Amino acid sequence: MADLSKRIVANLENSSWIRKLFDEGNRLKKEFGEDQVFDFSLGNPVVEPPKSFTEALREEVKKGGHGYIPNQGLVEARAKVAEFISSRFSGSFSSKHVVMTVGAGGALNVALRSILNEGEEVIVLAPYFAEYKAYIENNGGKVVSCPLTEKFEIDIEAVQKAITPKTKGLILNTPHNPTGTALTQENVNELGKLLKSCEKENSQSIYVLFDEPYSQLIYDEELADPFKAYHNIILASSFSKDLGIAGERLGYLVLDNNTPDVDLLTAAFVYCNRTLGFVNAPVLMQRAIASMDNLTVDASEYKKRRDLIVDILQEAGFDFMMPKGGFFVFPKSPIEDEVAFCQHAAEKYKILVVPSSGFGVKGYFRLSFSVSLDQIERSREAFIALYKDFA
């Protein structure tokens, strides 16, 4: 019998419901045909990158050069990221404090590896992207789950209670997976105030890991700027969703030039990027983005999908917060047991959605509208009938 890590085996068992969901989806697709199943379970970007990306790639391929590059990444790619971040957030950014990574997932692992000592705590705001737990535990940290409010805003009092002398970081994600909501500047300012007071009163530096891979997919309002509110921020992001190249694995870590110990932190990121085995982020992708002017997909394509799914869910009667960015919506399950609800949706209507227990809360389900407009429109009657079953 294989003698595996107990932690990994336990995690495999805990995530077996996700496997079951995928198996069930595949079974339904095989039995009834792909177009007969309404699969809203995956957060895979459907909007293709702009033409300039394909053109840039073509040009870069012609040039050759596929060897190792510096672990921090190409200076021209880092400069492009610094420029991109400067156009979105306040602060002072330069190529010197940017590290190119293997996606946002790689960025978060590198950042957590760099800051955590064994047993130190990282606060995640629930519901949260399920992989955070694995990323924190990969790097010896302990997950402390702290609920968002009913409106999926940061609950400042709850965060205050969750902070202990062992707290090293807090992951902030906006626009948010899984709820699709976006934090307000006021709410982020309050968090900054709390963290600053911790630093003043307890001499405790808490890093905000600002995970923002959906920040170019924003529909109704301005994105909050955490750099206006706090100083110990590690920005972790990627071109996975913003540019629609999730499979190409290009992400980045960015520090404001005035972050305390900025050079040491950057050096730690570069070291961890290398020694976690990433070595360097994909070089062809770095060269491609460095030569492009526009690093964003056509977000209006996602907005169309958002508007259509919102219309359908409202017509059906579901209760949910309006998604402001990204490509998820997180309605309340009409019955307490959201797993049973999702099973019913799959079995009776071939609608595949993800139960919220996977994101650390009960009573909701996540639906990704990163699917074809045609699939969304065809699902209308099924959603209406599904809701009626519980009305």
> Helix axis angle, 131-138 relative to 103-115, nearest 10°?
40
DSSP β-ladder status, 207-211 and 328-329: unpaired
256 binds ligand PLP (CB under 6 A): no
Using CB under 6 A, count the residues that bind ligand PLP: 13
Q: Which one among 49, 103, 325, 331 touches ligand PLP, defined by CB under 6 A?
A: 103
CB nearer ligand PLP, residue 67 or residue 247: 247
From 136, 112, 132, 99, select the one nearest 250 (Cα to Cα).
Answer: 99
Neighbours of 315 (CB within 10 A): 12
Tell me: cis bond preceding 127? Omega within 30 of 0 counts: yes
Stretch that binds ligand PLP, among 111-119, 227-235, 238-246, 303-311 (CB under 6 A): 238-246
211 binds ligand PLP (CB under 6 A): yes
From 370, 222, 240, select the one nearest 303 (Cα to Cα).
Answer: 370
174 binds ligand PLP (CB under 6 A): no
Neighbours of 258 (CB within 10 A): 11
104 binds ligand PLP (CB under 6 A): yes
CB of 218 to ligand PLP, least distance (A): 14
Q: Which one among 173, 215, 266, 286 touches ligand PLP, defined by CB under 6 A?
A: 173
Neighbours of 110 (CB within 10 A): 28
> Helix axis angle, 338-349 relative to 16-32, nearest 10°?
10
Specify the 3-state DSSP secondary structure of 59. Answer: helix
Q: Which one among 49, 50, 73, 105 touches ligand PLP, defined by CB under 6 A?
A: 105
CB nearer ligand PLP, residue 238 or residue 259: 238
CB nearer ligand PLP, residue 24 or residue 211: 211
3-state secondary structure 233-260: EEEEEECCCCCCCHHHCCEEEECCCCCC
Whole-angstrom CA distances from 349 to 37, 312, 328, 356, 388 are 8, 15, 20, 19, 12
Stretch that binds ligand PLP, among 6-14, 20-28, 99-107, 252-260 (CB under 6 A): 99-107
Whether the CB-CB separation of 40 and 351 falls below 8 Å is answered with: yes
CB of 34 to ligand PLP, least distance (A): 22
270 binds ligand PLP (CB under 6 A): no
Show contacts with ligand PLP in window 17-76 (CB under 6 A): 43
CB of 249 to ligand PLP, least distance (A): 7
177 binds ligand PLP (CB under 6 A): yes
Amino acid at 202: N
CB of 213 to ligand PLP, least distance (A): 5
Q: Which one among 49, 91, 251, 334 touches ligand PLP, defined by CB under 6 A?
A: 251
Show contacts with ligand PLP in window 122-161 (CB under 6 A): 129
Stretch that binds ligand PLP, among 46-54, 80-88, 102-110, 302-310 (CB under 6 A): 102-110
246 binds ligand PLP (CB under 6 A): yes
Whole-angstrom CA distances from 206 to 123, 194, 211, 295 are 10, 10, 15, 31
Please tell me the distance from the alpha carbon of residue 3 to that of residue 170, in angstroms, as a whole number. 34
CB nearer ligand PLP, residue 97 or residue 241: 241
Of all residues in the shown chain, the one whose CB is closest to ligand PLP is 103
Whether the CB-CB separation of 367 and 328 falls below 8 Å is answered with: yes
327 binds ligand PLP (CB under 6 A): no
DSSP type of residue 122: E
109 binds ligand PLP (CB under 6 A): no
Which residues sit at the interface with ligand PLP, rule CB under 6 A? 43, 103-105, 129, 173, 177, 211, 213, 238, 240, 246, 251
